[in-house]
Amino acid sequence: MDLGLSMAAKEAHQGLDGLPMPVPHKAAKKHKKAVLFFEVEIRDAKTREKLCFLDKVEPQATISEIKTLFTKTHPQWYPARQSLRLDPKGKSLRDEDVLQKLPVGTTATLYFRDLGAQISWVTVFLTEYAGPLFIYLLFYFRVPFIYGRKYDFTSSRPHGGASFHYIKRLLETLFVHRFSHGTMPLRNIFKNCTYYWGFAAWMAYYINHPLYTPPTYGVQQVKLALAVFVVKRLGSSRACCQMGNFSIHMALRDLRPAGSKTRKIPYPTKNPFTWLFLLVSCPNYTYEVGSWIGFAILTQCVPVALFSLVGFTQMTIWAKGKHRSYLKEFRDYPPLRMPIIPFLL
């Protein structure tokens, strides 16, 4: 045995003062935190047939992300066509709902319904309002085969209110509106276009007819109608429904950041036209109805009055639905507001 080597090894483990040096401990291995994954089973809501099984889904996954994963196995059902729900007859889950916050276990069962072919809301609005604008101008310029040969291409009396309305809605669709829902079932556009285009043709036929007669009370009736429908300066600016409708659309646009689906309670701004938010939940519908009432007074035309009545009925249904949604979603929602008509409805 080599004593010199043994002594050298011993000295190597001693400090300068002759005391043994501490032996360094090996660093403890860090244990990775286990990630709890979910298993998601997707079944047909009608037949209960198993359509897809998704393994190792992250708990923070949203319904939108689950729809994307589902599309990989069933490309014919793109995310916009999918309705996923916890119960076969329940409500559709929102795209922003998070999996781990839903009342499900680590093995979740979702039920799928096919919403059918979809079309973007921008395309819907452009189609619904471009058609009436084109139709109205055909009657306004009295193209051949409408009123008879002797009236071909003879301009009618200037009732530009309808054209202004449709142009305004087209511009708002392109530059103002932000839609919380990206698409609508394609089949609905045929019903909507039949309604909008059909009424536009019916109104335009009478408004631009060569035998059209002016309003009973003449200029005074026209001034009253213009004061309701558009800005009319009579010493000062009077409230007008078209400007009010536009102001509400701008306020709702600013309420939701671009690319977001965040919902907030709408409140009045510095713009006086938005003060109607103090009394109603959907002042855009209130102004819309008011503008068509003004146009009905201006034209003194039965089809316009009927269109205003039908539109009021439909917008009241929409306003009531939004009002209920606000009350359900926000506990601090202003209690004095009504859906569409202050203090009444």
Query: What does the pLDDT look like over 267-287, one tens digit per residue?
Result: 999 998 899 999 999 999 998
Domain limits, the chain: 38-115, 117-212, 218-301+313-345
Q: What pLDDT is stored for residue 231 in this prediction?
A: 44
pLDDT at 338 over 90: yes
The tokens 């109104």 sit on which residue? 203
Q: Average pLDDT for residues 33-56, to the nearest whole number?
A: 89
- Higher per-residue confidence, 247 vs 298: 247
- What class has domain 38-115? alpha beta
Non-local CB neighbours of 37 within 8 Å, separated by 6+ positions: 55, 56, 57, 58, 59, 106
Distance, CA of 236 to CA of 257 (rounded, Å)? 35
pTM recorded for the entire structure = 0.73
pLDDT tens digits for 61-106?
999 999 999 999 999 999 999 999 999 999 999 888 999 999 998 8
pLDDT score at 27 = 53
194-217: per-residue pLDDT in tens?
999 999 999 999 888 888 777 666
Average pLDDT, the chain: 82
User: What mean pLDDT is predicted for residues 12-39?
Assistant: 59
Check if the beta carbon of residue 81 is closer than 8 Å to that of residue 183: no
Average pLDDT over residues 222-228: 58
CB proximity list for 259: less than 8 A, separation 6 or greater: none
Asked if residues 140 and 204 have their Cβ atoms less than 8 Å apart, the reply is yes
List, in sequence order, every residue forming a beta bridge with 83; answer none if it has no partner: 113
pLDDT band at 327 (very low <50, low <70, confident <90, very high): very high
pLDDT > 50? residue 232: no
C-alpha 268, offset from chain centre: 20
